[in-house]
A and B are shown apart, each in its own frame.
Chain A
Amino acid sequence: MTNLSPLTGSADEGAPLAGPDPDPSPGRRPRASGMRALVPTWSPKLATGLVLVLGIGLFGLFGPMLVGDPNAIDSMGMTSPSGDFWLGTTQTGQDVFAQLAHATRGSLQIGLLVGVLATLLSAVFGIIGGYVGGAIDEGFSLFSNVMLVIPGLPLVIVIAGFVPVQDRGWWTIGLVLAITSWAASARVLRAQTLSLRNRDYVAAARVAGEKRWRVVSVEILPNLLPLLASQFVFAIIAGILAEAGLSFLGLGASGSQTLGTMLYFAQNGFALQNEAWWWFVPPGAVIALFGCGLALINFSIDEIINPKLRVPKPPKGDAAEAIEVAVAPVPIEGAAAEAPAAPGVVRVEKRRDAVLTVKDLNVVYRTAQPVHAVKDVSITLGRGEILGLAGESGSGKTTLAYAINRLHRPPAEVASGSVTFHDRDGGDLDLLTLGDEELRRFRWAKLSMVFQGAMNSLNPVITINEQLDDVLTTHRPDMPRAERRARCEEVLHLVGVDPARLGSFPHELSGGMRQRVMIAMAMLLDPQVMIMDEPTTALDVVVQRGILREIIRLRDELGFAVVFITHDLPMLLELSDRIAVMRAGEIVEYAEADQIYDNPTHPYTRQLLESFPSLTGERGAFIRTGERTPR
């Protein structure tokens, strides 16, 4: 529907538009609710993976009991597969199939041994180090990093070279392989533990005085489980591969029979020269298929670790139909957008000079249970007006804002309605039917946005200058470099940020400064509309106030219109010209700010106003400065 279709987000990730109930609080618990989240979702990949792993596992477990003696020598050497010998025979007439069964068992055994040992080692060094921190972490981390950069196989080969053949047992090899292979996953686990430790909810648990082991086992370990599982799976693959390599070089456990030794004998029995593919293809294929099976299972585990990786399932046809009926779609009429808004909802007469008209807009999240996030919303934004959009979390205000600029991502979808932009130069643009390229040109040039997550809205790895400059090079390709630079400095100056900050990276700025940079960026192209989605929510009151003043001042100077979204109705009363109150996707009240202050008509508006604490006990005392900005 939009040009953003590849950027599908899944409903579970809680990204701004992925659910009808966007949760603005940073540092949310990443754990999906309930144990169901820890069970991989069924998928063809998982099924294939399980079939492969179980099949080969069973073959290794029971195969050796069912086949003949793998070492029995026969006079019939190097025969290709036949009824008697399913996979042919070796140079000395041994049954390749029988050998394969025994070798599979041997390889699985060693893989499992290495997997368990390596995972244990990595868990000890990674999780404990990562959580405890301090000198222990430094030491553990240094140790695992050193182990990591020392290449494993050469080390194993050297060790194996020193150990006489008769001493090279199954356990010795397993242990050596585990010791040389745990470090990578310890590092991953440590990084994850560190990141979990610094999440807000873990910090909260620590501040609350929870015991260390409890924090680790309740807050951190459950979040690490999928990662541990995936590391275990990888350790098994790595173990099997490393053992195979070692045995192929003739340095494996003495007397052992693994897929690697099979390949060793095949190589030394000139299987390749004789093109006896049946001898050396099956052992490698078993390793590859087993590894592939584990990797496929790992995909499903990865999707638990990182729900963003899931490809959202398209909704069932019926559900989509059902919502269509419920919505009772209104045909999109670009030209009719000028018509007065639906009666009953919009009580304010249409301004003479509107810049944005939203008419009967419906946005639906096409998930398994469709959610009608925006219902028949009609608003008109006057030129230079500040329109406040108030409502509780999940009332659909953010969804509405994003739909205006078509930034909503699937499964959100505009079911019906129209959004018309009335350009300063006179032309009207129907935003919902704009082509991809036209839409791209329209964005930011005429309508810019300051986001809810403005703290994270800056690209962390490039400088402020590059991010501002990007806008100019894209939208004003002919602008000379010096002019671009001057413009960037000018907008920073406008929002009260030292232009010397242009060379800074986002992490070098404070939260308030980053927000100001975002506002500066939004003004770069002198847009006619600016949508601000909770731009000050994450900031402290003093900074918040400073930025609000700035916004009003800039609006007065530059004359852009603002759609200001927040749950903070008292703030809007000070700031806006008109206010729309949203609830459950509908606009329940839409009036001048004064009117809402003096005489709110809808019970929900009154409820919202009353929900803000009053110091004096009288209604109206919630106004924080005590004075209304004259308007």
Chain B
Amino acid sequence: MRYYARKLGFYLVALWAALTLNFLIPRMMPGNPVDTLLIKLQQRGGSVGPDVRRSYELLLGADTGDPLFQQYAEYLGNMFRGELGVSVSAFPAPVTEVISQSLSWTIVLVGIATLLSFLVGVVLGTVVGWKRGSWLDSLVPATTVLSAVPYFWLALIFALVFSSSLGWFPRSGGYDVALATGWNYEFINSAVYHGFLPALTIVVSSVGGWLLGMRNMMVSTMSEDYILTAQAKGLRNRRIMTRYAARNAVLPSVAGFAISLGFVVSGSIVTEQVFSYPGIGSKLLQAVENSDYALMQGIFLVITIAVLGANLIVDLLYGLIDPRTRVEN
């Protein structure tokens, strides 16, 4: 139980750190984002009442004379109420609405792609590690080339080959715009069709890392005494490979999931940009281009919370698959 309490506590601290970072960054940066934002807002025909100004000031910091601590307390209050302000680039939609529209696209795309690449990488890594010294070893250098390839460049190449040249997949977008959004076969079909290339990009560029990590751990694990015991026990090779070697070798990969998830999310933001995918990454860039600071911060927070949540789930899972963590110290 202590393990789980610790993990939960940690993610609360991380969440608090992200919120605080979000509060501090605009205040530490040069320039006056509030004025920039308000001018833009006026240009779009928004009314700039004192309460709107106040909420931006809390979010972005301005010389209001209030002590920093009070600003911080009010800012945290706003965050917990989910008041992230109004988006300028998508005026008059509030930031939360803009985010909720695009978030699910990214979660489904990145989620499925990451899960797929993890599974494929771990399974391949298990086999390559087990059959060390065979021709499968030549797969290993190939994967390093893939993991050194920039996500967006691979995306560009895929777009060139599979959509521009071959015309197999659409060049951009997340679904056929002619279709109405909804949970029907046609729409889902078109979403899968459009999401295929972005997902392929993420899988191809991240699978090598999983494969290599798993392969190396397999090789290390195979010289453990319990593998020798398993062989002496006359167990079948397949069982030794899965239940004795891979079962132990996979632990660092799961523990390292947090590290990789950050990379994958970062990579997918840029990938979304290449494919003009209607996800949160494209929205973030759009916000940056339009100096839509409120949206920028809102998206940063949401991405962070999503990543924290995913990591929490993986950590809780880790507690289940490694009995030793439960008796920490």
- Chain A residues within CB distance 8 Å of chain B: 3-9, 13, 15-16, 18, 45, 48, 142, 145-146, 148-155, 157-164, 167, 184, 187, 237, 241-242, 244-245, 248-251, 263, 267, 272-273, 275, 277, 280-281, 283-284, 287-292, 294-296, 299, 302, 306, 308-309, 311, 405, 407, 440-445, 448-449, 451, 453-454, 456-463, 470-471, 474-475, 505, 507-508, 518, 521
Residues A294 and B223 in contact in the complex (CB < 8 Å), given A311-B137, A407-B231, A443-B233: no
- Is A150 a contact partner of B304 (Cβ separation < 8 A)? yes
- Is A444 a contact partner of B233 (Cβ separation < 8 A)? yes
- In the complex, the chain A residue whose C-beta lies closest to that of B226 is A459
- B113 is an interface residue with CB less than 8 A from chain A: no
Contacts of A521 in B (CB 8 A): 233
Identify which of A151, A275, A287 contacts B150 (C-beta below 8 A): A287
Contacts of B13 in A (CB 8 A): 142, 146
Which residues of B209-236 are within 8 A (CB) of A?
216, 219-220, 222-236
Residues A461 and B148 in contact in the complex (CB < 8 Å), given A152-B266, A263-B156: no
Which residues of B269-302 are within 8 A (CB) of A?
269-270, 273-274, 284-285, 287-289, 291, 293, 296-297, 299-300
Contacts of B21 in A (CB 8 A): 150, 155
- B244 is an interface residue with CB less than 8 A from chain A: yes
- In the complex, the chain A residue whose C-beta lies closest to that of B60 is A162
Residues A309 and B269 in contact in the complex (CB < 8 Å), given A295-B144, A474-B234: no
23 example contacts (A-B, Cβ-Cβ < 8 A) are as follows A6-B131, A7-B231, A9-B223, A146-B14, A148-B262, A149-B11, A158-B25, A159-B25, A167-B30, A184-B259, A245-B151, A245-B267, A248-B152, A272-B164, A405-B232, A444-B232, A456-B225, A461-B248, A461-B322, A461-B324, A471-B234, A474-B233, A474-B236
- B258 is an interface residue with CB less than 8 A from chain A: yes
A554 vs B90: C-alpha distance when bound (angstroms): 81
- Is B233 a contact partner of A461 (Cβ separation < 8 A)? no
- Is A294 a contact partner of B150 (Cβ separation < 8 A)? no
Contacts of B304 in A (CB 8 A): 150-151, 154
Contacts of B307 in A (CB 8 A): 149-151
Contacts of B224 in A (CB 8 A): 456
Q: Interface residues of B toward A: which range?
A: 35 or more
A18 vs B234: C-alpha distance when bound (angstroms): 21
Identify which of B29, B148, B273, B288 contacts A287 (C-beta below 8 A): B148
- Is A154 a contact partner of B308 (Cβ separation < 8 A)? no
- Is B234 a contact partner of A441 (Cβ separation < 8 A)? yes
- B149 is an interface residue with CB less than 8 A from chain A: yes
Query: Would you give the shortest CB distance from A542 to chain B, in whole angstroms?
Result: 24
- B247 is an interface residue with CB less than 8 A from chain A: yes
A475 vs B239: C-alpha distance when bound (angstroms): 13
- Is B291 a contact partner of A151 (Cβ separation < 8 A)? no
Contacts of A288 in B (CB 8 A): 145, 148-150, 153
Per DSSP, chain A at the interface is helix
User: Interface readout for B69-103 with A: 1 if CB under 8 Å, 0 if not?
Assistant: 00000000000000000000000000000000000
Identify which of B29, B153, B225, B322 contacts A280 (C-beta below 8 A): B153
- Is B258 a contact partner of A149 (Cβ separation < 8 A)? yes
A6 vs B216: C-alpha distance when bound (angstroms): 14
- B49 is an interface residue with CB less than 8 A from chain A: no
Residues A308 and B232 in contact in the complex (CB < 8 Å), given A150-B17, A288-B149: no
